[in-house]
């Protein structure tokens, strides 16, 4: 397809009349000529469309694959749906790959465009996915996260690896907030596209003394009888618009959303109230048994306002986001995590809190980069001619400081976080295990090609740490070192594939050696997974917890697979946190409800799900290491524990929860009715079973047991697999 024809076709598919300034500049800098580009432009300025042009050009004209990397699973899902809907009509096959970090996903070779998380791309390289050699375009979205200590190093290593593996592939890096974009462009040998153009004008200002004051336009008088946040919401609703608040904590988000709902509810029509009632019911009943928090967010939603944080379940967050986009929910109060998530634009964005708590430090000011990222979400191209980003101030003096620092101030430079030791452990082993680096010199040469080396001019600090890491990996028998040559052992390769910190893997190896010598106790392994870097931050300790936890430690002393620190040791507090976290998991596998866990441990359903996901992966890793080490006698027990952990059930329910649509609640109901085995389920009449679990579920059970013939399905012409979890 010719260049002009390609551009016209994609404009038509996207319902755009013409290219915007950012896209024109990208074309001028070689977008369709295979040039590497760093595109630094505001939110909603058309950066993604630049990638779409390059991807379709790569797939149709160059017969190569395109990879689109994002930091978050939710964002990956959003992009996947968008690209699939738009470009499936051109015969382009789009795939989503974000889960299962222990697979090369060979099915991806049949797809043209792979949307994945940064971690998944790193994992695919570790597993030697052969199709990577066919990649002709690499897109890195939200590249400012190179600055994030938890996510940045993986992105940096992955980009460095891909540049080595597919040196002729085109690389596009996108961000709305990179001050030192020139450094990034030089590192990637890329042309730089910088633009301040936005399809929707952004006005930034401050609010105090019942007024909103903007730098570039007339402000608003607010209701002096209302609290500041409520008066802004009232003003927003009078303009028939929506507003997104950012606050620092979950508790603040919940409290403010409830207060603002009282204002919003007065502006709702009868039909809107009925629609919100239906939505609230759907959100409340995401779980089999709604928790206190489920009811809390549901009651909030009924008023047209909602809170949004990681403590909510994924399904709940998605329902809230979708209905905010539709305009049904008028106000969302969120923690800053939403700023790096899905595309959720709003006419107004309000920054209420400019400080954030950091463990061991206290309250610290949020970086300018993050504030500008949040305020940049203002304005929706399809609805608004402009957007308003507002920071709340106490008084005039405070407002002047805010304007000077956050509105006129420059965002911080992006800096590599590669020198962190856990990062170096994981990636050093991965480079050796994948045979990408077969010697110390090759390893050091690789790190000399990273963004860290570019920024610092040398890798002397990292070199010293790498040599220490190599000594540890050798001591743990994950690698062998002979005359500068490096080889991964069989267990070292498996640890790399399992995508866990080698320090954690060595700890698991030591724990397994102790488990085989004593009676298997689930709590022992639950504590082992809780005492890892992957599970941090661990549950916090309240004043009343100390005596109770010390009593539990005393009673269960023989169940721990490590030496218990003395109370005066520095590591004792962390040990207490790990014990509390393990107890939470024990509650879960003994069928404690999400509400009970919230009450006992202060862990919300969303946080619980996140921890369970990490915990499941760690138990799977223990299982794989036990298999490799030949500990066959405990494999059955580990696998049982993993099923219990997955479903949150006692051992007797394992056969029942393996049935589709039978979770922990229905399984317990069946068990209590005397239906304790699959054989008993086969014997009970369908009508009797329907009285216990309902007709639909009863029919499904009988169908799964082979007692009801499955309806003949039409033979599919094609079998398309799009994602693996």
Are residues 146 and 264 both part of a single domain? no
pLDDT at 151: 87
Sign of the Cα pseudo-torsion (127, 131, 134, 135, in order): negative
* Average pLDDT rounded to a whole number, residues 405-419: 91
Q: Give the up-direction half-sphere exposure of residue 686: CA atoms within 13 A in the CB hemisphere.
A: 13
193's enclosing H/E stretch is: strand 191-194
* Average pLDDT rounded to a whole number, residues 455-480: 93
> Which of residues 616, 648, 680 is at a domain's end?
648
How many domains is the chain partitioned into structurally?
5
Instruction: List, for residues 316-374, the tens digit of each pLDDT value.
Output: 999 999 999 999 999 999 987 665 655 677 899 999 999 887 766 777 888 898 898 88
Q: Is the pLDDT of residue 93 over 90?
A: yes
Site of tokens 């149709």: 60
* Average pLDDT rounded to a whole number, residues 139-150: 90
With contact defined as beta carbons under 8 Å apart, do 525 and 641 qualify?
A: yes
pLDDT at 342: 59
> Which of residues 170, 194, 218 is at a domain's end?
194
Instruction: List, for residues 414-452, the tens digit of each pLDDT value.
Output: 999 998 889 899 999 999 999 999 999 999 999 999 999
Are residues 249 and 182 both part of a single domain? no
Categorize the per-residue pLDDT at 62 as very low, low, confident or very high, splitting at 50, 70 and 90.
very high
Are residues 558 and 681 both part of a single domain? no
pLDDT at 713: 47
367 contacts: CB under 8 Å, gap ≥ 6: 411, 412
Give the separation between CA 305 and CA 299, rounded to whole angstroms.
9
* Average pLDDT rounded to a whole number, residues 301-315: 93
- The candidate with the shortest Cα–Cα distance to 10, out of 45, 51, 67, is 51
pLDDT at 696: 93
pLDDT at 74: 81
pLDDT at 364: 84
| Percent of the chain whose pLDDT exceeds 90 | 78
- The candidate with the shortest Cα–Cα distance to 403, out of 223, 216, 180, is 216
Categorize the per-residue pLDDT at 483 as very low, low, confident or very high, splitting at 50, 70 and 90.
confident
Q: Is the pLDDT of residue 191 over 90?
A: yes
Instruction: List, for residues 556-568, the tens digit of each pLDDT value.
Output: 999 999 999 998 8
> Which of residues 378, 407, 436 is at a domain's end?
407
pLDDT at 721: 37
* Average pLDDT rounded to a whole number, residues 482-505: 95
Instruction: List, for residues 603-643, the tens digit of each pLDDT value.
Output: 999 999 999 999 999 999 999 999 999 999 999 999 999 99
Give the separation between CA 493 and CA 68, rounded to whole angstroms.
27
Report the CATH number that the domain containing residue 384 is assigned in CATH: 3.40.50.300
Are residues 233 and 177 both part of a single domain? no
713 contacts: CB under 8 Å, gap ≥ 6: none
pLDDT at 83: 96
pLDDT at 712: 52
pLDDT at 149: 87
Q: Is residue 514 part of a domain?
A: no
Give the separation between CA 340 and CA 93, rounded to whole angstroms.
27
DSSP symbols for 579-623:
HHHHHHHHHHHTT--HHHHHHHH---HHHHHHHHHHHHHHHHHHH
Report the DSSP pairing between strands 113-117 and 135-140.
Answer: unpaired
Report the CATH number that the domain containing residue 492 is assigned in CATH: 1.10.10.10
**pLDDT, mean over the chain:** 92
The size of the chain, in residues, is 725
Give the separation between CA 200 and CA 180, rounded to whole angstroms.
25
Give the separation between CA 443 and CA 473, rounded to whole angstroms.
14
pLDDT at 397: 95
Instruction: List, for residues 630-687, the tens digit of each pLDDT value.
Output: 999 999 999 999 999 999 999 999 999 999 999 999 999 999 999 999 999 999 999 9
DSSP symbols for 458-519:
S-HHHHHHHHHHHHHHHHTTSEEEETTEEEE-HHHHHHHHHT--HHHHHHHHHHHHHHTTS-
Are residues 73 and 139 both part of a single domain? yes
Q: Is residue 415 part of a domain?
A: no
* Average pLDDT rounded to a whole number, residues 147-164: 92
Peptide bond into 537 cis (omega under 30): yes
pTM for the structure as a whole: 0.89
33 contacts: CB under 8 Å, gap ≥ 6: none
pLDDT at 103: 86
To 10 degrees, the CA torsion angle through 246, 251, 252, 254?
A: 80
Q: Is residue 184 part of a domain?
A: yes
Sign of the Cα pseudo-torsion (592, 593, 596, 597, in order): positive
Q: Which domain covers residue 434, as residue numbers?
A: 421-498
pLDDT at 231: 97
Q: Is residue 228 part of a domain?
A: yes
Are residues 285 and 383 both part of a single domain? yes
């Amino acid at each position: 397809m010719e260049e002009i024809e390609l551009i016209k076709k994609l404009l038509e598919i996207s319902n755009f009349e013409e290219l915007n300034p950012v896209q024109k500049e990208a074309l001028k800098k070689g977008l369709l000529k295979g040039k590497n580009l760093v595109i630094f432009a505001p939110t909603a300025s058309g950066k993604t469309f630049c990638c779409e042009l390059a991807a379709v050009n790569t797939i149709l004209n160059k017969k190569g694959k395109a990879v689109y990397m994002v930091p978050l699973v939710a964002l990956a899902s959003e992009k996947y749906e968008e690209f699939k809907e738009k470009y499936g009509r051109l015969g382009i096959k789009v795939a989503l790959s974000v889960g299962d970090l222990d697979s090369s996903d060979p099915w991806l070779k049949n797809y043209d465009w792979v949307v994945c998380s940064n971690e998944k791309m790193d994992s695919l390289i570790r597993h030697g996915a052969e199709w990577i050699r066919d990649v002709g375009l690499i897109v890195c979205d939200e590249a400012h996260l190179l600055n994030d200590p938890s996510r940045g190093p993986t992105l940096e290593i992955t980009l460095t690896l891909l540049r080595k593996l597919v040196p002729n592939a085109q690389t596009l890096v996108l961000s709305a907030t990179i001050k030192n974009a020139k450094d990034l462009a030089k590192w990637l040998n890329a042309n730089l596209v910088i633009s301040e153009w936005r399809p929707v004008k952004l006005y930034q200002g401050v609010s105090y003394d019942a007024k909103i004051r903007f730098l570039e336009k007339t402000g608003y008088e607010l209701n002096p009888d209302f609290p500041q946040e409520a008066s802004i919401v009232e003003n927003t609703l009078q303009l028939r618009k929506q507003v997104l608040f950012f606050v620092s904590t979950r508790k603040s988000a919940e409290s403010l959303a409830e207060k603002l709902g009282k204002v919003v509810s007065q502006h709702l029509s009868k039909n809107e109230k009925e629609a919100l009632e239906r939505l609230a019911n759907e959100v409340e009943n995401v779980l089999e048994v709604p928790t206190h928090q489920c009811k809390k967010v549901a009651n909030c939603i009924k008023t047209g306002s909602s809170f949004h944080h990681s403590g909510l379940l994924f399904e709940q967050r998605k329902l809230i986001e979708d209905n905010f986009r539709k305009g049904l929910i008028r106000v969302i109060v969120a923690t800053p995590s939403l700023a790096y998530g899905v595309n959720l634009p709003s006419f107004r964005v309000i920054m209420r809190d400019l400080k954030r708590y950091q463990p061991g430090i206290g309250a610290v000011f949020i970086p300018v980069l993050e504030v500008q990222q949040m305020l940049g979400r203002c304005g929706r191209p399809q609805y608004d001619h402009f957007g308003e980003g507002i920071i709340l101030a106490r008084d005039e003096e405070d407002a002047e400081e805010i304007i000077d620092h956050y509105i006129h101030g420059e965002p911080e430079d992006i800096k590599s976080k590669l020198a962190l030791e856990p990062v170096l452990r994981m990636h050093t082993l991965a480079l050796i295990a994948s045979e990408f680096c077969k010697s110390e010199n090759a390893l050091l040469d690789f790190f000399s090609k990273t963004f860290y080396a570019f920024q610092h001019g040398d890798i002397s600090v990292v070199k010293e740490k790498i040599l220490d890491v190599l000594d540890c990996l050798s001591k743990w028998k994950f690698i062998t070192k002979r005359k500068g040559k490096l080889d991964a052992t069989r267990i070292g390769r498996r640890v790399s594939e399992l995508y866990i910190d080698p320090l954690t893997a060595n700890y698991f190896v030591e724990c397994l050696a102790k488990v085989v010598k004593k009676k298997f106790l689930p709590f022992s392994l639950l504590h082992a997974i809780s005492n890892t870097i992957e599970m941090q931050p661990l549950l916090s300790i309240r004043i009343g917890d100390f005596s109770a936890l010390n009593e539990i430690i005393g009673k269960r002393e023989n169940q721990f697979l490590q030496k218990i620190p003395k109370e005066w040791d520095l590591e004792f507090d962390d040990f207490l946190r790990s014990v509390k976290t393990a107890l939470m998991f024990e509650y879960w596998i003994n069928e404690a409800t999400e509400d009970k866990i919230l009450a006992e441990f202060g862990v919300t359903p969303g946080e619980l799900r996140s921890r369970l996901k990490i915990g499941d992966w760690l138990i799977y890793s223990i299982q794989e290491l036990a298999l490799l080490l030949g500990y066959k006698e405990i494999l059955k027990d580990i696998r049982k524990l993993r099923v219990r952990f997955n479903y949150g059930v006692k051992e007797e329910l394992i056969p029942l929860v393996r049935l589709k649509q039978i979770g922990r609640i229905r399984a317990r109901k069946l068990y209590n009715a005397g239906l304790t085995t699959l054989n008993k389920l086969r014997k009970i009449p369908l009508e009797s079973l329907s009285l216990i679990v309902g007709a639909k579920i009863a029919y499904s059970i009988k169908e799964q047991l082979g007692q009801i013939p499955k309806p003949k399905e039409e033979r599919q012409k094609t079998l398309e697999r799009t994602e693996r979890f």
